[in-house]
Amino acid sequence: ALRDRIADTGASIVITADQQVRGGKQLPLKAIVDEALAQGGCASVRHVLVARRTGAAVPFQAPRDLWLHELTDGQSERCEPEWVEAEHPLFLLYTSGSTGTPKGVQHATGGYLLHAALTCAWTFDLKPEDVFWCTADIGWVTGHTYIAYGPLALGATQVVFEGVPTYPDAGRFWKMIQDHRVTVFYTAPTAIRSLIKAAEGNEAVHPARYDLGSLRILGSVGEPINPAAWEWYHRHVGGGRCPIVDTFWQTETGGHMITPLPGATALVPGSCTLPFPGIAAAVVDETGNELPWGQGGILVVKRPWPSMIRTIWGNPERFRKGYYPEEFQGRYYLAGDGAIRDAKTGYFTITGRIDDVLNVSGHRMGTMEIESALVAKTDLVAEAAVVGRPDDTTGEAICAFVVLKRPRPTG
Same domain, 315 and 383: no
Same domain, 134 and 221: yes
The length of the chain in residues reads 411
Same domain, 228 and 250: yes
Same domain, 178 and 204: yes
Same domain, 296 and 178: yes
Sequence-ordered list of residues with C-beta below 8 angstroms from that of 82, at least 6 positions apart, any chain: none
Q: Write the pLDDT tens digit of every residue in 251-264.
A: 999 999 999 999 99
Sequence-ordered list of residues with C-beta below 8 angstroms from that of 120, at least 6 positions apart, any chain: 126, 132, 146, 150, 151, 153, 154, 156
* Residue 411, domain member (yes or no): no
Query: 297-301 and 281-284: which strand pairing?
Result: antiparallel
**343, 293 Cβ separation under 8 angstroms:** yes
* Residue 319, domain member (yes or no): yes
Distances (CA, A) of 86 to 79, 190, 318, 383: 20, 36, 24, 47
| Res 263: pLDDT | 94
Q: Report residues of the chain scoring pLDDT below 70.
A: 97-100, 356, 364, 366-369, 372, 382, 411
- How many domains, the chain? 3
Helix, coil or strand: residue 72: helix
* Residue 134, domain member (yes or no): yes
* Residue 340, domain member (yes or no): yes
* Residue 81, domain member (yes or no): no
Q: Write the pLDDT tens digit of every residue in 374-384.
A: 877 777 886 77
Same domain, 43 and 101: no
| Res 98: pLDDT | 57
Which amino acid would we find at residue 147?
Answer: I
Which of 352, 371, 396 is the last residue before a domain boundary?
Answer: 352
* Residue 77, domain member (yes or no): no
Give the up-direction half-sphere exposure of residue 225: CA atoms within 13 A in the CB hemisphere: 35
Same domain, 335 and 254: yes
Which amino acid would we find at residue 353?
Answer: R
Compute, in degrees rounded to 10, the torsion defined by CA atoms 105, 108, 109, 112: -80
Which of 11, 46, 72 is the last residue before a domain boundary?
Answer: 72
Q: Counting runs of H as helices and runs of E as strands, what totals does the chain give?
A: 11, 21
| Res 97: pLDDT | 66
CATH number for position 326: 3.40.50.12780
Exposed (0-12), middle (13-18) or buried (19+): which is 200, by Cβ within 10 Å? exposed
**What is the average pLDDT value for the chain, to the nearest integer?**
93
Tell which phi-psi region holds residue 82, choosing left (phi > 0), alpha (psi between -120 and 50) or beta: beta
**234, 260 Cβ separation under 8 angstroms:** no
Domain range for 376: 358-404
Give which of 52, 171, 185, 190 is closest to 125, Cα–Cα. 185
* Residue 97, domain member (yes or no): yes
Same domain, 259 and 120: yes
Distance, CA of 337 to CA of 359 (rounded, Å) = 11
Same domain, 388 and 265: no
* Residue 285, domain member (yes or no): yes
Cα Rg for the chain, rounded, in angstroms? 22
CATH number for position 54: 3.90.25
**12, 20 Cβ separation under 8 angstroms:** no
Q: Where are the alpha helices (DSSP H) in 254-390?
A: 316-323, 367-375
**17, 48 Cβ separation under 8 angstroms:** no
CATH number for position 364: 3.30.300.30
Same domain, 17 and 130: no
Same domain, 123 and 47: no
Same domain, 95 and 228: yes
